[in-house]
Amino acid sequence: MVTMIFNSHTHIGDSFIKLPDKKWSVEELVAPGYGYKHRMLERAKEDEIVKGMIEAIKLMEKNTDVFVDFREGGIKGIKLLHKAMEGRKIKAIIMGRPAGMKYVKDEVDEILKMAHGIGLSSISDWDDREIEKIAEHVKKREKMFSIHVSEVKREDIDAVLSLAPDFIIHMCKGSKKDFEKIADENIPVVICPRANSFFGIAPKINEMMAAGIKIFLGTDNAMIVKPDVMEEMRYVIDKFGIDEEKAFEMISTLPYKFFKGKF
Ligand SMILES: [Zn+2]
């Protein structure tokens, strides 16, 4: 029996950010380009970002074997994570993304050389044609493509599925029909309920499970919640009444079977 523990969704690059105590919306905090997080990342020294990443990695090494990081900041962002990972025993599945909001062939080629795939913010942030070109390029190179979906507002699931993502993140605002389509395509959904609760939202875990979706757990932005996936599992058991064994599968066998051979 495999006992590898997975944190299937992190952004550890923002670990160094100390959040001012106020009520934040997702947009104010993490919108690509102008969100508080991205403004702080622009301003930060590389050493400061890497130091924060190392702190997050050390915390995860206490109880996690593999983490799936959605790496912002283009090629430079991936290099920072590589630096933070030097000499560590935990494994990182790196989902890079372009620095800007455009498809640049050479940049995507370079990212895919250094990362396991590309993980984007959400279709609402992107021009359809640009995102299609990125997804196609990733598929051609047989790497993974992933995207955040329906976190704060419902997005067009057909448009998302047409990009053939390998796995998707959130789905808090998904409908029953959306869940059925995702289950039909056998696409896993990574949920991050503690990070969602920071914004006053919640994933419909029971509905998604009833539809037959494979659910993995992640901790999302490290500046909001510590990247402790065991805590995430406890939260799912306590707040959503999920069976302990089922909750454990979400951080172990389910992601293991899916990511096996891909990292
Ligand atoms: Zn995320």
Per-residue exposure over 19-45, b if at least 16 CB sit within 10 Å of its own CB, e if not: eeeeebebeebbbbeebbbbebbeebe
**What distance in angstroms lies between residue 87's CA and the mean position of ligand 1's atoms?**
26
**What distance in angstroms lies between residue 71's CA and the mean position of ligand 1's atoms?**
10
Contact 119, 94 (CB under 8 A): no
**What distance in angstroms lies between residue 222's CA and the mean position of ligand 1's atoms?**
10
**What distance in angstroms lies between residue 190's CA and the mean position of ligand 1's atoms?**
9
**What distance in angstroms lies between residue 221's CA and the mean position of ligand 1's atoms?**
6
C-alpha 217/C-alpha 160 separation (Å) is: 20
**What distance in angstroms lies between residue 9's CA and the mean position of ligand 1's atoms?**
6
**What distance in angstroms lies between residue 50's CA and the mean position of ligand 1's atoms?**
19
**What distance in angstroms lies between residue 19's CA and the mean position of ligand 1's atoms?**
17
**Per residue in 58-103, pLDDT tens?**
999 999 999 999 999 999 999 999 999 999 999 999 999 999 999 9
Domains of the chain are 6-259 (3.20.20.140)
**Per residue in 146-160, pLDDT tens?**
999 999 999 999 999
Q: How many CB atoms lie within 10 A of CB 210?
A: 13
> What local confidence, expressed as pLDDT, does residue 103 receive?
98
Which is nearest to 17 in space by CA: 229, 223, 235?
223
Pairing relationship of beta strands 215-217 and 91-96 according to DSSP bridges: unpaired
Contact 164, 140 (CB under 8 A): no
**Per residue in 105-154, pLDDT tens?**
999 999 999 999 999 999 999 999 999 999 999 999 999 999 999 999 99
Contact 134, 103 (CB under 8 A): yes
**What distance in angstroms lies between residue 141's CA and the mean position of ligand 1's atoms?**
23
Tokens representing 2? 């495999």
Q: How many CB atoms lie within 10 A of CB 173?
A: 16
| Residue owning tokens 């455009």 | 102
Tokens representing 82? 């590589």
- pTM of full prediction above 0.85: yes
> What local confidence, expressed as pLDDT, does residue 132 receive?
98
Tokens representing 91? 């494994």
**What distance in angstroms lies between residue 33's CA and the mean position of ligand 1's atoms?**
15
C-alpha 219/C-alpha 11 separation (Å) is: 8
